[in-house]
Each structure stands twice: as C-alpha cells, then as structure tokens.
Amino acid sequence: MKFNTIGIITKPQAETARKTLQSLFEFLSDKDCKVLVDESIPDAINTFNFEKVSREQIGERCELAIVVGGDGTILNAVRSLAHAQVPLLGVNVGRLGFLADISPDELESSLEDILNGSYREEQRFLLEMQVIRDNKVIFEGDAFNDVVVHIRDVARMIEFETRINDEFVNHQRADGIVISTPTGSTAYALSSGGPLLYATLDAITLVPISPHTLSSRPLVVDADSKIDVLVCNTKEGIAQATCDGHLSTDVHVGDHIKVKRKENKITLLHPKQHNYFEILRAKLHWSEHS
C-alpha cells in the first residue's frame, strides 16, 4: 500500500520528542507524500510548516498516522482514531514500549522499509464501555487496554456481581476488577496477576484486583462476550469506572458497567523484523541470569 498522505501525532507537550520529530519531518519532507500534523503540535516544532489539522481530519484524510511518544500517546491516538480506517505506526520516545516499537535510532531505516511496503500488520480490538443507571446510559467510552472498576483515591473493598452473556458468574469483594483486551494484558491486568495474552488473540480477560478470597482467579472469555458488572456496595468510598486510566466517571451502587468488544478494529504497523516475544523478554526481563 502506498501512503500518499501521512499524519503525525504526538503529545502537546512535545519537548522530549522534539529531536525525533525534527528527524521525522526532515525525512518525510524528501518523500513524495503529503504530511499533516496534529493541531496540538506547536508551531515552534512544526518548522516545515506542514498543514495542521484536527485528529478527526487525520482519520479522514490520511493513509497512515505516525505516533511519536510512548504507549500512553498511542493509547490516546487509538481511542481518537478508532472510528477511522487509518493504520498507526508508533515511534518510541523514552523507555521501551509495548506499542511504540520503532526507536529513534532506527527511524529512517524502518520508515524507508515501511513506506516501500515492507511491514507487518496487526489487527487489534478495543472495548466499549457504558455505565447504565436507572436504565439510562450516563457515560460511555472506549478502551484499548482496559476498563477498570475500583474505589477512587483510597484502597477500599468494593462488592460487585459479574455476568457474562446474561449468565451469573460470581459475587466478589475486591479492590476492583480489570476487564482487559489482549493489548492491555501487559498493563494493569498483568500487575494484578492476570495472564499474558498474545496481542491478536480474540479474548477478554477479567482480573480481580486484590480479591478478598484466594479462590477469585482471573477469567479469560471469548472476545464476543458481553460483560456486565453490577456495583453492589462501595463501603462508603466513591467508586469509578475508567477506560485506559484516562476516561473515567463515578459509579453508584446499583449501576451496571457494561463492556463489549468494539466493532471497529485498529490496525498497527510494525517493522518487518518486529518480534512480540522479544519485546516481552526486554520489558519483563526474561532469561536474565542472576
């Protein structure tokens, strides 16, 4: 596929990415393509005076969106472009990321290959979450990593019931629950004791956070499952439901948090030599000798 129009996305506070962005801009300025930059990129960084557009226009007009930053920047970009068909490519700034896997040192060589059609493509899904109160939708949002239900600010127990496809699963007392995509299995779900899922697997993980009983274990279900978490008791704390740790709303006793797979998938591009297990080894320090 030829990428005629390329969009550039980064954090508004892009000082840490400035050098990488300049290298990227210089590289693309010599290519036979149109470059659009996210309107949040300061003019002082957009030294080539590329056209500044909204995130929505990047989704509508571009064949490729390059995201410069860390995994958090990619999560933000994915949520904003989930409705579009534009593939995303992550250029890592800072620590090694699970999603942004092109290092600044490899920027030109990797991009040259990708623009010439040599790349690996992955289809990944998001979750969509609704909070239902008195049979009305009071909040909704998308998550690329996870939907989390927990007590806000302090570590207190929350009681909740879980149903999957309208079938009762269990009643739990825990600090909360993480409902995760395979992409998010390396994030909060992992630190809560959940399993690692291969990134393109069609599955959703439900991981209790510090459950009151040791018999409460992570559960992996088909990605077509419809999940319903009913808030039963918040122990005088204020509970909230959160998408990717970013979009959040308070939830009350009696609220239903409904989660299912989003219909639109996102496409991630990787260099041809991309190896998911190599990233896992590096991030999780596997195979190290003491």
Quick one: 136 and 92 in the same domain?
no
Quick one: 61 and 142 in the same domain?
no
Is the pLDDT at 25 greater than 70? The verdict is yes
Between 231 and 101, the more confident residue is 231
Quick one: 144 and 256 in the same domain?
yes
Phi, psi of 281, rounded to the nearest 5 degrees: -60, -45
Quick one: 187 and 238 in the same domain?
yes
Phi, psi of 87, rounded to the nearest 5 degrees: -75, 155
Is the pLDDT at 263 greater than 70? The verdict is yes
Domain presence at residue 158: yes
Supply the CATH number for residue 246's domain.
Answer: 2.60.200.30
For the chain, the average pLDDT equals 92
Domain presence at residue 289: no
Domain presence at residue 290: no
Phi, psi of 189, rounded to the nearest 5 degrees: -60, -40
- Predicted local confidence at residue 214, as pLDDT: 84
Q: Which residues are catalytic?
A: 71
Instruction: Work out the average pLDDT over 201-230.
Output: 96
Domain presence at residue 108: yes
- Predicted local confidence at residue 14, as pLDDT: 59
Quick one: 256 and 191 in the same domain?
yes
Quick one: 73 and 174 in the same domain?
no
Amino acid occupying residue 137: V
pTM for this one?
0.93
Is the pLDDT at 218 greater than 90? The verdict is yes
Structure tokens at 55: 């995130």
Quick one: 14 and 98 in the same domain?
yes
What is the band of 79 on the pLDDT scale with cuts at 50, 70, 90? very high
Consecutive H or E run containing 29: helix 18-29
Give dist(CA 256, CA 168) in Å, integer.
Answer: 14
Is the pLDDT at 290 greater than 60? The verdict is no
Domain presence at residue 274: yes
With tokens 């299995």, the residue in question is 185
**CB-CB contact of 122 with 267 (8 Å):** yes
- Taking residue 26's Cβ as centre, other Cβ atoms within 10 Å add up to 12
Quick one: 270 and 235 in the same domain?
no
Is the pLDDT at 217 greater than 90? The verdict is yes
Q: pLDDT, tens digit, for every residue of 31-74?
A: 989 999 999 888 888 889 999 999 999 999 999 999 999 888 99
- Predicted local confidence at residue 140, as pLDDT: 97
Supply the CATH number for residue 11's domain.
Answer: 3.40.50.10330
What is the band of 93 on the pLDDT scale with cuts at 50, 70, 90? confident
Give bridge partners of residue 170 from the DSSP assignment: 162
Instruction: Work out the average pLDDT over 15-42.
Output: 89
Q: What single DSSP character describes residue 102?
A: B
- Predicted local confidence at residue 43, as pLDDT: 86
Residues 6+ apart with CB under 8 A from 281: 287
Q: Which domain holds residue 39?
A: 5-125+265-284
Quick one: 162 and 257 in the same domain?
yes
Helix, strand counts (H, E) of the chain: 6, 19
Strands 247-251 and 239-243, sheet pairing? antiparallel
Q: What single DSSP character describes residue 118?
A: -
Quick one: 141 and 255 in the same domain?
yes
Quick one: 120 and 132 in the same domain?
no
Phi-psi region of 235 (alpha: psi -120 to 50; beta: other; left: phi over 0): left
Domain presence at residue 280: yes
Instruction: Work out the average pLDDT over 174-178.
Output: 95
Strands 158-164 and 227-233, sheet pairing? antiparallel
Is the pLDDT at 118 greater than 70? The verdict is yes
Give dist(CA 111, CA 4) in Å, integer.
Answer: 14
Instruction: Count up the domains in the chain and report the number.
Output: 2
Give dist(CA 268, CA 9) in Å, integer.
Answer: 14
Give dist(CA 158, CA 257) in Å, integer.
Answer: 14
What is the band of 152 on the pLDDT scale with cuts at 50, 70, 90? confident
Quick one: 249 and 142 in the same domain?
yes
